[in-house]
Structure 1
Amino acid sequence: MVIPVHDVLPVRRTPWVTYALIAINVVVFLLTPAARSTGVQATSVTQLCQQEAFYDRYSAIPAELTHDQQLARVPTGTAAVGRGGAVGCLVGPPSYHKIPALSVLYAMFLHGGWLHLLGNMLFLWVFGNNVEDRLGRVRFALFYLVCGYAAAYVFALANANSTQPLIGASGAIAGVLGAYLVLYPRARVWSLVPFLLFIPLRLPAWLVLGMWFVLQWVYSAGYAVSDAGSVAYLAHVVGFVLGALLAIPLRGRRPPVGYPVRR
């Protein structure tokens, strides 16, 4: 796995939608309970219960999406001591009305921690501007949302009874990566290679994004075990494939100024 940090493909216009998406994701994250946890200090049970209640309310939950109905019992955000002195989170009827379809939109701007947020925003920063440049601002915004929704719903259908909250912009950003691969396969991307002591290399986009996709597919298919925790790899695969398919009709159009063309 390599870490992309910058591509060398210029754009013809300022990618305001990409900038806006990054800004919204950062602002929303700062307003969520997860922003108060750095991963260094210990998190209290009360804080964990509050986070769990928050994400159950605003995240996309597969069981809710497949049945188009919110769960009957959800975490209340309150910690309690049970039998034998065990500490846990209270569960009860929801005090709010939740529209499952809208929860997908909310979930696309939620993240579980700083690493989750920064990793997603890095990929959006590196690859989003050129895809927006090719699609145009309005179509790029719609494209982003369509990929995010498709990724969430396909993942939900594959995990129809799961009550595990689904959050993050990864499905939508995976769509951006798929489109970039189709539109600019030969573009060069400066990337850090961990197993080479993070030496920066100028690699072709087809290699960087192809490796990323293969890794997501391997994990989603269960051929390998990731230590990244509970990650919706299938949503990444779906978003990427859909983004690539939607970008195919644009391949024949004139590329942006500065795009390297073979003669």
Structure 2
Amino acid sequence: MIDRRAAAGRLLRAATSGGPPVTYALIALCCVVFAISPLSGLNPVYGSADALLSAQAGYFERWGVIPSELWDGSAHALLTPLTALFVHGSWLHLLGNILFLYVFGAMAEERMGHTEFAFFYLGCGYLALLAYAAAHATSDETLVGASGAISAVLGAFLYLFPRARVTSVFPFLLFLPLRFPAWIVLIFWFVLQWLAAKGAGSGPGVAYLAHVVGFAIGFLYAWGRYRRDARVRSPATATEGESQP
């Protein structure tokens, strides 16, 4: 489970200070899109009760990835792995993703540069959702969320900052906040996603395969792009978090 109080504090401080603009813009865009959508329940234009449920279903179908429709060649269907990155099914889904994006995205953006990070995030997120759709090509379930892109950020972070310290809480350690090197936390997270993906079906739930693919693409990109450069190895770098995006 993520140390949400510490991460939320960092997110609040980020809103009142300078920092990586792409990471903050992505966070803001996800929040705004969710707030004005029928999924938040805040926009009265969508009505309530049955009307709201119908609007929510239509919203998922319009902006989310439907694997069985992705390969029909239409421009709209091919665009959905991009639009789905900004659609979240609930407040909890949104909060978990934006916390991870800030915690790990800020340092990755500073290392990559703003423009490269933006294309990295969108490209890896697109490919992660595309891979999930290819593996479940006959599924009619809608896939939404930024998890694939954020998993790619985690993979890149593992390569770029292997010794950065992260504050994490683990259920089997009685939820005590402990600090570990990033490589321990992120490899542990990746193994959990891999095991979950092997046992997951194509129905509603968490798209673990998109996490695995996104993480792998992000790590391989960072390895290929920066393997001739010196990686950041200082254990003094601080960040927080460990859980599923």
TM-score bracket, shorter-length normalisation: 0.7 to 0.9
Partner residue of 1:123 out of 87, 94, 100 = 100
Please tell me the residue identity of whatever aligns with 2:146: A
Is contact 1:59–1:167 with CA below 8 Å preserved after alignment? yes
- 1:48-83 Cα offsets, whole Å, 9 max, x none, are 2221111101111111212224xxxxxxxxxxxxxx
Partner residue of 1:247 out of 207, 218, 222 = 222
What's the counterpart of residue 24 of structure 2?
19
Q: Distance in 1 between matches of 2:50 and 2:169?
A: 37
Q: Tell me the TM-score normalised to structure 2 length.
A: 0.81
Please, which runs of 5 or more residues in structure 2 have no aligned partner? Answer: 8-17, 43-47, 237-245
Q: How do residues 160-175 of structure 1 correspond to structure 2 at under 5 angstroms?
A: 160-175=137-152
Q: Distance in 1 between matches of 2:109 and 2:85?
A: 18
Task: Report the CA distance between 1:255 and its aligned residue.
Answer: 4.7
Q: Distance in 1 between matches of 2:175 and 2:133?
A: 36
Partner residue of 1:188 out of 165, 171, 178 = 165
Is contact 2:153–2:215 with CA below 8 Å preserved after alignment? yes
- 1:71-126 Cα offsets, whole Å, 9 max, x none, are xxxxxxxxxxxxxxxxxxxxxxxxxxx71122222110000001100001111111
Is contact 1:2–1:194 with CA below 8 Å preserved after alignment? no
Partner residue of 1:104 out of 64, 75, 81 = 81
Return the index of the structure with the highest Cα Rg: 1
Q: Distance in 1 between matches of 2:154 and 2:71?
A: 27
Count how many residue pairs are aligned between Structure 1 and Structure 2. Answer: 218
Partner residue of 1:157 out of 116, 121, 134 = 134
3-state SS of 2:178 partner: strand
Q: Distance in 2 between matches of 1:103 and 1:28?
A: 15
Identity between Structure 1 and Structure 2 (%): 51
1:144 pairs with 2:98 = no
What's the counterpart of residue 215 of structure 1?
192
3-state SS of 1:35 partner: coil
Cα–Cα, structure 1 residues 107 and 195, in superposed 2: closer, same or farther, change >3 Å? same
Task: Report the CA distance between 1:22 and its aligned residue.
Answer: 0.5
Please tell me the residue identity of whatever aligns with 1:33: P
Q: How do residues 84-95 of structure 1 correspond to structure 2 at under 5 angstroms?
A: none
What's the counterpart of residue 95 of structure 1?
none
Structure 1 or 2: more strand by fraction:
1
- 1:190-246 Cα offsets, whole Å, 9 max, x none, are 122334443211111112111111111111111x79xxx611111111000000000
Task: Report the CA distance between 1:252 and its aligned residue.
Answer: 3.6
Task: Report the CA distance between 1:3 and its aligned residue.
Answer: 4.7
Please tell me the residue identity of whatever aligns with 2:25: A
Task: Report the CA distance between 1:2 and its aligned residue.
Answer: 5.4
Is contact 2:104–2:157 with CA below 8 Å preserved after alignment? yes
